[in-house]
Amino acid sequence: MARILSILVGLFFTVALAWSFGLGFYTWATDPAAPTAEHEFHLHPKEVAFASDGAFGKFDKQQLQRGFQVYKEVCSACHSLNHVAFRDLAQLGYSEGQVKAIAAGFQVPGVDPTTGEANLRPGLPTDYFPKPFANDVAARAANNNAVPPDLSLMTKARHEGPAYVYSLLTGFQAQPAELLKKFPDSKTPNGLHYNPYFANLNLAMAPPLTGDGQVEYGPGNPKPTVDQMSKDVSAFLIWTAEPSLDKRKQTGLAVTLFLLFATVLGYMAYRNIWAGKKH
């Protein structure tokens, strides 16, 4: 009796699941979802190339230094780099003295040795980049109720991360008239900014790069246009997300060559050992 009951219960749930699946499929086929502004006007990231792309790509240290300069002078006012220490900047080609000077230019949380009270002190090479806001409440108050994300792993956390960051920085624009005509209720709310490369088309971040020459590059560097600065800071964020990328590629190439050599050697040994043998 118990066996028959368990079979009936299982059969009931199987039929219920099949019915739900069939009903859902029928609804999807006969009553498609209404079009949305996000679906029709959200754009795929732009095509952009970086020196580190591909199996043989390598970081362009000069570009990474330019990207760090853009981050320091523009992005660091709102975005943190929680996983990057000042001493890591030596990988970009900065000298020990330059790293110390960069670190000292930031105020990091510390403790007064005489009173034991929390305070702020100049950074040291061993410190990590400090957060720009004391807490999320302060961050929301300064950014239209949005908390600016940490950028350390941004190019890994987003699909086509480097292209996404570049597209977002260069994608701020006025809402298309076609969008407002087709979706009158999709007008960008006050305090937000239209950007077709963002998932819901509107974000709290104002355009951070507002014009050419906003960051002054030194001699021997390309002109600091909005497009160039966007590429440079995107390249820098590729490095923050994976600083060992160059070494990983070198190791991968060496391992691949070794495996190819071992495969050929193994095949030749096999042919030599079994050349005179018959199955």
Q: Is 79 marked as binding a ligand?
A: yes
Domain 37-51+59-244 has CATH 1.10.760.10: yes
Q: Is 83 marked as binding a ligand?
A: no
Average pLDDT of adjacent 10-residue blocks, the chain of 279 residues = 74 80 67 70 93 92 97 95 96 96 92 81 94 92 91 94 96 92 89 93 93 93 96 97 91 91 89 71
Q: Is 205 marked as binding a ligand?
A: yes
Its pTM surpasses 0.75: yes
Domain boundaries along the sequence of the chain = 37-51+59-244
- pLDDT of 83 reads 95
**What are the backbone dihedrals phi and psi of residue 10, each rounded to the nearest 5 degrees, phi first?**
-60, -40
- pLDDT of 28 reads 59
Q: Is 268 marked as binding a ligand?
A: no
How close are the terminal C-alpha atoms of the chain, in Å?
Answer: 60
- pLDDT of 116 reads 78
- Say how far residue 63 (Cα) sits from the centre of its chain: 18
- pLDDT of 16 reads 77
The answer to whether 163 and 125 are in contact (CB under 8 A) is: no
**What are the backbone dihedrals phi and psi of residue 221, each rounded to the nearest 5 degrees, phi first?**
-105, 160
- pLDDT of 95 reads 95
- pLDDT of 31 reads 59
